[in-house]
């Protein structure tokens, strides 16, 4: 009788241990994300969220991973940090998600990072400046496959000086962590070159009349303008500059690389030089095949193909880690699987490397240029130092 009781206690203990792994059942893995499905960054959130949803449908329709389907719980934060905090609390405490994937916005990520880390929630690729995590403690469950705006700004500025003959630059930037980190990177690039910083003109995410900012950019006399903005304000400022006859060389973050910019800014978007961190549509057969798959599932993603593919890129390392973890999926088994990745390539994301002492999985970008409503590759991969 004593042996039987001991066995029953052991079984009960094991069962409780399994059930306490948040967001995992025998048939399902529940993940969550907070995105700007409305507001000034809706073009990002709708594209990324739609791409994530379509990609998981493709995975699930093929049987899922090791017998489990992956279910995404997506919440709208309107690009507001306060709403992102509320969403993440709901995802963790009520939905009990196994992991948070993405979460757009450096300010939003900063607002929720302590809560996510303290609750030991696996966080895959916060869609925020990668540089913000350097020096941050307790990164066991944090894995980043997204570029740093400081590194990008430096690389973009150096390219402008050495390859485009730029002598002076004005910066139009969002007045939060996203834009401020981009501006910091541009200033570091300026320190490495002979470019002059003519002016730096901020805007708030609620601004819609940018005529004053356009005048300030023109008055600076800069021969180039660099943009760290949402698609909404990025398109508005380009159109405002065109309206007053100011046509500098334009440079922009990869965050504005979606072809939706051709619709929003019109012909003024031709000739813009940007960065990219995965092969853009039209330049890589595997990426094009994945885009075709997404569009068959959700034709509306045709409006924002780059952002939809970005959503896939955020999920791919996580899905691969679930596959490598096998049937016994726990946070620690997924961490070990992620840390085993060396120069791993997905259908979209390329060159992901993690390790026990490296949770910054991506450290390279390349330069592209918009021509005739398409993007042309200008450079090979440009690497930058790994920060964590």
Do 333 and 378 reside in the same domain of the chain? no
The DSSP H or E segment spanning 73 is strand 69-76
Q: How far apart are CA 208 and CA 54, in angstroms?
A: 32
- pLDDT digit string (tens) for 313-355? 999 999 999 999 999 999 999 999 999 999 999 999 999 999 9
Q: For residue range 110-135, what is the model confidence (pLDDT) as tens digits?
A: 999 999 989 999 999 999 999 989 88
Residue 251: domain span? 150-276+369-383
- The percent of residues in the chain predicted with pLDDT above 70, rounded, is 95
Are residues 141 and 30 located together in one domain of the fold? yes
Q: What pLDDT digit, counting tens, does each position of 182-234 carry?
A: 999 999 999 999 899 999 999 999 999 999 999 999 999 999 999 999 999 99
In a domain, 241, yes or no: yes
Task: Indicate the number of domains in the chain.
Answer: 2
Quick check: is 256 in a domain?
Answer: yes
333 belongs to a structural domain: yes
Q: Is residue 301 part of a domain?
A: yes
**What integer pLDDT is reported at residue 194 of this predicted model?**
87
> 155 and 247 share a domain?
yes
Rounded-to-integer distance, Cα 227 and Cα 276, Å: 14
Domain co-membership, 39 together with 143: yes
50: left (phi over 0), alpha (psi -120 to 50) or beta: alpha
Q: 91 and 155, same structural domain?
A: no
pLDDT, tens digit, 9 for 90 and up, residues 251-296: 999 999 999 999 999 999 999 999 999 999 888 999 999 999 999 9
CATH number, position 256: 3.40.50.2300
Whether 35 shows a pLDDT value over 60: the answer reads yes
Q: What is the pLDDT of residue 20?
A: 58
Q: Are 217 and 245 in contact (CB under 8 A)?
A: no
Domain match, 54 and 138 both: yes
Dist CA 151 CA 207 (whole Å): 27
Q: Verify that 135 and 161 share a domain, yes or no.
A: no
87 inside domain: yes
Tens of pLDDT, residue by residue over 93-106, are 999 999 999 999 99
Would 245 be classed as within a structural domain?
Answer: yes
């Amino acid at each position: 009788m004593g042996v039987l009781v001991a066995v029953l206690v052991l079984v009960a203990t094991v069962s409780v241990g399994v059930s306490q792994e948040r967001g995992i059942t025998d048939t399902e893995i529940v993940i969550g994300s907070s995105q700007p499905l409305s507001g000034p960054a809706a073009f990002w959130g709708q594209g990324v969220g739609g791409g994530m949803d379509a990609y998981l449908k493709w995975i699930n329709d093929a049987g899922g991973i090791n017998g489990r389907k992956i279910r995404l719980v997506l919440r709208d934060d309107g690009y507001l940090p306060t709403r992102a905090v509320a969403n993440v609390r709901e995802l963790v405490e009520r939905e009990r998600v196994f992991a948070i994937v993405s979460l757009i916005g450096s300010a939003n990520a900063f607002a929720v990072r302590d809560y996510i880390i303290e609750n030991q929630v696996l966080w895959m690729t916060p869609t925020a400046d990668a540089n913000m995590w350097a020096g941050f403690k307790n990164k066991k469950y944090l894995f980043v496959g997204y570029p740093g705006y400081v590194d990008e700004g430096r690389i973009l500025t150096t390219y402008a000086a050495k390859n485009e003959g730029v002598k002076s630059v004005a910066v139009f930037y969002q007045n939060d962590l996203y834009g401020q980190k981009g501006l910091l990177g541009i200033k570091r690039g300026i320190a490495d070159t002979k470019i002059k910083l003519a002016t730096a003109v901020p805007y708030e995410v609620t601004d819609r009349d940018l005529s004053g900012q356009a005048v300030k950019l023109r008055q600076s006399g800069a021969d180039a303008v660099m943009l760290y903005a949402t698609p909404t304000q990025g398109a508005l400022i380009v159109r405002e500059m065109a309206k007053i006859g100011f046509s500098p060389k334009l440079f922009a973050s990869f965050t504005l690389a979606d072809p939706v910019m051709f619709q929003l800014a019109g012909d003024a978007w031709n000739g813009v030089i940007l960065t990219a961190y995965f092969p853009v549509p039209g330049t890589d057969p595997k990426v094009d095949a994945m885009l075709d798959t997404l569009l068959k599932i959700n034709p509306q993603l045709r409006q924002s193909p780059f952002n939809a593919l970005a959503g896939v890129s955020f999920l791919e390392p996580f899905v691969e880690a679930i596959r490598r973890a096998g049937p016994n999926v726990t946070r620690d088994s997924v961490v070990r699987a992620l840390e085993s990745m060396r120069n791993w390539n997905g259908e979209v994301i390329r060159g992901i490397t993690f390790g026990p002492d490296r949770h910054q999985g991506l450290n390279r970008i390349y330069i592209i240029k918009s021509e005739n409503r398409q993007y042309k590759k200008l450079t090979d991969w440009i690497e930058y130092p790994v920060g964590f």
